[in-house]
Amino acid sequence: MGDYSKALEFYEKAHKIKEKALPPNHPELATSYGNIGEVYNNIGDYSKGLEFYQKDLEITKKALPPNHPSLATSYNNIGLVYYNMGDYPKALEFYEKANRIYEKVLPPNHPSLAKAYGNIGQVYNNMGDYSKTLEFYEKAHQIYEKALPPNHPDLGFSYNNIGQVYNNIGDYSKALVFYDKALKIREKALLPNHPTLATSYNNIGQVYNKMGDYSKALEYYEKALKISKKALPPNHPDLATSYNNIGLVYNNMGDYPKALEFHDKAHKIYEKALSPNHPDLAISYSDIGLVYNNMGDYSKALELYDKAHKIYETALPANHSHLATSYNNIGTMYKNMCDYAKALECYEKALKIREKAAFPNHVDLAICYGTIGQVYNDIGNYSKAFDFHNQAHKIFEKALPPNHPHLATCYNNIGQVYYSMGDYSKALDFYERAYKIREQALPSDHPDLAICYVLFYISSIKIILPMSVFLVQPASGTNVKVGVDDFNITYATIETDSVSNCHFILIDGEYEERQFA
């Protein structure tokens, strides 16, 4: 149940006995190395995990024929470590080696073949190639439907994977359909306090959180938490995930004390359960940093983001997506503190990682372009701002459905550039596009809609009235009141660049369920 130090202790004792009793290339020794590698992989020590899995592979290659299923398992394990390290081409290479063996030795509807397709799909999912992801997930699903009874947990797992893709591309209604199918199977097939049931509730909660339906999100996250409390020991990382998810909702609702309360509960568990350089601990620091950012305590947020970054630099390869997210978060702090040179430096580091690691039309690449565009807008380099926002827009149009909130954010950002240039009619055009998307995609009381109303109205008034009637020009990163003396109208205080920032912090979805065969 997550007591990895104990597991390691017993696996190492068993290994010493096997080393003395067995010849050096015995398959049991390979299994022993594999068990130790699995523990290191689970605690986030990926280099150690890789070391032991490769020892397993060396013996397996010598001891077994080239198409033996155990050799496929060894390739699969190494692929999993590379996946966790964010080295997706390497992960794909090893998963495909495993898959080729399975295709040769197994019947076409064998569940292990379905799992191999699922693993390849997961890599394409993280690379942002969602059409390829769906192709492999659907191959897996077709096998599960033929090979398994209708309420088998693996069929639920398959529905869950397909739901994850629709969640990632912003088709939330489709995501809910597939997540609900997974949940129904799990409710029938599993005990009422099974941790996998909690995973289903977490995934559904996440969709509602993204849709801005926070009461529904809390309802599902709290169901997950109840199960996790009953099913898991008090310091299990999955329990921390439940606390973390609830904290994210309270953060989105603007209840920052509650958000910090739940994030702190999660963080204490991670500190006890994980190694000091585990990536999940870094994610925890980042989530707490996000709350302080939203509270306007940028120095505290920066301190926490720096802690996260140090862990990522130690634990992950130089081109891992988490490092890009980390640079992005730190860049946002510098942007909020008006240190635009430092912000650009961080955003450009994030962009270099994304350009090397991501699929050309990956949403995260578009987000990088958008953040850089915001900085150029803030420093008055409008041609550069347009250039980057347009690059972001091209990717969003290709990768996302037409009513995705990221597209609305992109239109708002382009509108901001026109507004800064004093072209209020053009700004109004783009704010209106953003508003139409958000009106369709979000509930009527969502904060992003409120921001759209204000931006839309300010631009409308600017067109109708001479500029001199405005008491204060909205400035990026500042809280301002906009008043029109002639009409005795004062609008509520708003953070004018919150539209830009709200979708660009921790956008990688680091709290999503991680699924492997």
- Residue 444's contacts (CB-CB under 8 Å, 6 or more residues apart) are none
Would you say residue 402 lies in a domain? yes
Domain that holds residue 417: 376-501
Is-contact 311 281, C-beta < 8 A? yes
Token pair of 376, please?
Answer: 């150029």
Torsion angle, CA of 385/390/396/401, rounded to 10 degrees?
120
Of 56, 198, 115, give the one whose Cα is nearest residue 206.
198
Of 467, 469, 452, give the one whose Cα is nearest residue 422.
467
Would you say residue 13 lies in a domain? no
- CATH number for the domain spanning 420: value is 1.25.40.10
Would you say residue 491 lies in a domain? yes
pTM: 0.80
Q: Within a 10 A sphere around the Cβ of 513, how many other Cβ atoms?
A: 17
Strands (DSSP E) contained in 27-124 are none
Would you say residue 262 lies in a domain? no
Domain count, the chain: 1
Q: Whole-angstrom Cα distance, residue 58 to residue 25?
A: 9
Would you say residue 406 lies in a domain? yes
Q: Whole-angstrom Cα distance, residue 206 to residue 58?
A: 41
Strand partners, 470: 484
Token pair of 393, please?
Answer: 């827009």
Of 261, 313, 339, give the one whose Cα is nearest residue 305.
313
Instruction: Report in angstroms the alpha-carbon separations of 482 from 419, 461, 487.
Output: 15, 11, 12
Would you say residue 326 lies in a domain? no
Q: Whole-angstrom Cα distance, residue 389 to residue 368?
A: 10
**Cα dihedral across residues 74, 80, 85, 89: positive or negative:** positive
Q: Whole-angstrom Cα distance, residue 63 to residue 402?
A: 54
Would you say residue 477 lies in a domain? yes
Q: From first to last of its 517 residues, what are the pLDDT tens digits of the chain?
A: 457 888 999 999 999 999 999 998 898 999 999 999 999 998 888 999 999 999 999 999 999 999 999 999 999 999 999 999 888 899 999 999 999 999 999 999 999 999 999 999 999 998 888 899 999 999 999 999 999 999 999 999 999 999 999 998 888 999 999 999 999 999 999 999 999 999 999 999 999 998 888 999 999 999 999 999 999 999 999 999 999 999 999 999 999 999 999 999 999 999 998 889 999 999 999 999 999 999 999 999 999 999 999 999 998 888 888 999 999 999 999 999 999 999 999 999 999 999 987 667 788 899 999 999 999 999 999 999 999 999 999 999 988 888 888 899 999 999 999 999 999 999 999 999 999 988 887 777 777 777 877 887 787 777 765 544 444 444 444 443 333 333 222 223 323 333 333 332 233 333 333 333 3
Would you say residue 420 lies in a domain? yes
Instruction: Report in angstroms the alpha-carbon separations of 193 from 190, 224, 227, 232, 244.
Output: 8, 9, 5, 10, 19
Q: What share of the chain is helix, strand, coil (3-state, %, to 5)?
A: 75, 0, 25
Is-contact 300 270, C-beta < 8 A? no
Of 129, 126, 74, give the one whose Cα is nearest residue 97.
74
